[in-house]
Amino acid sequence: MISRKTKLIVVHHVSNVLASAFSIEEIAHWAHDVRAKVLVDTCQSVPHMMVDVQSLNVDFLVASSHKMRRRTSIGFLYGKSDILSTMHHFWVSHYNFHASSVSERNN
């Protein structure tokens, strides 16, 4: 249930089990109505279809490289620039899921 307490909605675009697709534009509309952010996992969609972050109107979008027959252990994160510019940088390791801020690492 989405309410004013919702901060982030994380949803996949296309299911790897059913191959069905969520209406991401609609989910983004519901989320933004309560000032929540949306992160969409497009691992199963970007290799097979055009995905337009602007028309989906999502705040964040991720996919992994190996689903596109490329290297394993890397991927990408898209984020709206006005949101990313307010966030602290951090490193995430695929192997140990350790995250720390860049400034912590440099000190």
Ligand X SMILES: Cc1ncc(COP(=O)(O)O)c(C=O)c1O
Structural element, H or E, at residue 46: none
Instruction: Give the per-residue contact string, 9-28, with ligand X (x = CB under 6 A; - = no).
Output: ---x---x------------
Q: Is 42 strand, coil or helix?
A: coil
Q: Could you tell me which stretch among 26-34, 36-44, 53-61, 76-84 binds ligand X (CB under 6 A)?
A: 36-44
Does position 38 interact with ligand X (CB under 6 A)? The reply is no
Smallest separation (angstroms) from ligand X to the CB of 79? 17
Helices (H), the chain: 24-33, 53-56, 81-84, 102-106
Q: Name which of 56 and 64 has its Cβ closer to ligand X.
A: 64
Nearest to 37 by CA among 23, 47, 27, 50: 27
Q: Name which of 89 and 94 has its Cβ closer to ligand X.
A: 94
Q: Which residues bind ligand X (CB under 6 A)?
A: 12, 16, 41, 43-44, 64
